[in-house]
Amino acid sequence: MRTANERARMKHSRGMRPQDLAILLKIVSMRGEHWRISDLAATLYISQSEISQALVANWQAGLLDDSKRVVHKRSFVEFLLHGVKYVYHQRPGPITRGMPTAHSAPPLSQMVSAGGDIYVWPDVEGSARGQRIEPLYPTLPRAAKVDRPFYELLALVDAIRVGTTREYKIASEELTKRILAQ
């Protein structure tokens, strides 16, 4: 027989959306700071209702505790390392102006040399030209511009989504270190 908690987890499960992961990355990047749904909505440029839905989806997936405020970091890292590249795979697109991501952005840009390949999120005000990578959610580049720790976590996730075996390995190690240390 299932517990009430297990029944609640199964009820209305709609699966994970990319912004659900971004919201967890934001919570992790805040390093234990107190936050409200309205804070996340304002800093991620995502509606409060989408934040609420994401918290429920992450809780249902076992990535948040029952309070829906504490990330189960080991489970989250496991999903990022073994699921993201399959569920949210991205192929580099045409050359465009944008904001560097994956191995083209910190911290990986200081750790690996990727030759001439540059990956960017599309952004007309971007500082680089490179192959287009769609962000997990359209508003994330805007949010990343004002939050360096969050930006670096997103870039590491993008390296897992699109990187070579070497870039994936380095990004996995760095992402694991950063999330578990938070």
Alpha-carbon span 99 to 152, nearest angstrom: 12
The verdict on 61 and 106 lying in the same domain is no
pLDDT value at residue 111? 86
Full residue range of the structural domain in which residue 112 is found: 90-181
Nearest to 84 by CA among 181, 171, 180, 182: 171
Q: What whole-number distance in Å separates Cα of residue 138 and Cα of residue 143?
A: 10
In terms of C-beta distances under 8 Å and separation of at least 24 residues, what long-range contacts does 137-140 make, across chains too? Answer: 137/18, 137/19, 137/22, 137/44, 137/46, 139/44, 139/45, 139/46, 140/22, 140/44
- pLDDT given at position 12: 53
Separation of alpha carbons 103 and 101, rounded Å: 6
Of 100, 106, 134, 139, which is closest to residue 118 (Cα–Cα)?
Answer: 100
| Nearest alpha-carbon partner for 87 in 157, 11, 175, 177 | 157
Q: Number of structural domains, the chain?
A: 2
Residues 70 and 56: their CA atoms lie apart, in Å, by 12
Give the predicted TM-score (pTM) of the model.
0.89
| Average pLDDT per consecutive 10 residues, the chain (182 residues; last block may be shorter) | 52 77 96 94 96 96 94 97 93 95 92 81 92 95 96 97 92 96 76
CA distances from 133 to 46, 55, 83, 93, 165 (A): 20, 26, 18, 6, 18
Q: Are residues 167 and 129 in the same domain?
A: yes
**Three-state secondary structure call for residue 168:** helix
Residues 117 and 76 in one domain: no
Domain stops at, among 86, 105, 132: 86
**Is the same domain home to 115 and 171?**
yes
* Strand extents, DSSP E, the chain: 95-100, 119-122, 128-132
List Cβ neighbours of 166 (8 Å cut-off, separation of 6 or more).
112
Do 27 and 54 fall into the same domain? yes
User: Last residue of some domain: 50, 70, 86?
Assistant: 86
Q: State residue 163's pLDDT score.
A: 87
